[in-house]
Amino acid sequence: MQNEAIRSVEHEIKVYLVNSFTRNNTGGNPAGVVLNPPQLSDEQKIAIAKEVGFSETAFVYQGEETDFKVDFFTPEGEVDFCGHATLAVFFTLSSLNLLASGHYTQKTKAGVLSVAIDTENVVMEQTLPISRQAPKIDAVATALGVNCEVISETGLPIEIFSTGLPDILIPVQLGQLDTLKPNFDAIAELSREFNTIGFHVFELSQDKEITAHCRNFAPLYGINEESATGSSSGALGCYLVKHVFPHKTHFLLEQGRAMQCSSLIHVIIDSTENTISRVRVGGKATMIGSKIITFYTTC
């Protein structure tokens, strides 16, 4: 019996392009959203994420035990969770009138998380915080191109926190955030050594409305800097409750200023007697457009 001829089948995938955590419809961090894709390998998802060209692209499926199952891919590979891509997913579903305002669940590699949609915002639940020891201050300062005093004189520690993805949280003195000269190779090496996504650097704000200004560097995953990071913002909210504002529940974080792409991220922390019981991160989004990507499978 002769072997059947191998043939290629062409597929087209529509990717919605969304800016998450926008500030008055500007700024934000772009993500790709693919709704109900065909069966794809990890390699195909990576290739699609590369062609989209954003830091993350989300692949959204109908869930079995949850409302949705969502996979997150960077141009380098899969990550367990992505805050700004989650916001993009539920904003897209709402914008297309596929979801009404309300509460939904998504299954991610970081666990089952709830998401609330209303007419103004998307608010996502993150996992409860886990913290651990971070790199030494001299290694971190060298990687950021600053003197150790820029960090040490804040009186705050460098610490690894995770509310879905682990980041190295680093305080710097007021006025120093935008002057950093990051060495991306050094940041990637420390991120690899300490099994983290990257550096989330912040300075406390003098603005009464904003709690802190932030920068995020994740070169290990092909993201030298991004303008809004939901998972890191949840982690920073927990850090601030632990070290700075033990009785505060709402935080407004600004990120992307140094990139001329200022974004706003809301963080809500529920806690009693120094124990955090719930972490939520939310914000607004704007649809940029869509893109058709063609790929081939063999059969």
pLDDT tens per residue across span 138-157: 999 999 999 999 999 999 99
SS3 assignment, position 173? coil
pLDDT at position 1, please?
43
Token pair 């998401």: residue: 115
Tokens of 51: 């062609």
- Judge contact between 203 and 171, C-beta under 8 A: yes
pLDDT at position 4, please?
55
More confident residue, 219 or 295: 219
**What is the spatial distance between Cα 82 and Cα 91, in angstroms, rounded to a whole number?**
14
* Burial of 289 from C-beta contacts in 10 A (0-12 / 13-18 / 19+): exposed
- Judge contact between 212 and 236, C-beta under 8 A: yes
Q: Answer whether residue 6 shows pLDDT above 80.
A: no
The confidence band for 299, taking pLDDT boundaries of 50, 70 and 90, is low
> How many of the other CB atoms lie within 10 Å of CB of 232?
34
* 53 φψ region: left (φ > 0), alpha (ψ -120 to 50), beta (else): left
Per-residue pLDDT, averaged over 259-278, amounts to: 94
Q: How high does pLDDT run on average in the chain?
A: 94
The confidence band for 10, taking pLDDT boundaries of 50, 70 and 90, is confident
Which segments of 160-284 does DSSP mark as H helices, in order?
A: 184-193, 230-243
Q: Answer whether residue 5 shows pLDDT above 70.
A: no
230 closest CA partner among 128, 101, 116, 123: 123
Angle at 167 between CA 227 and CA 54, to 5 degrees: 35
AA letter at 184: F
Q: pLDDT over 90 for what percent of the chain?
A: 88
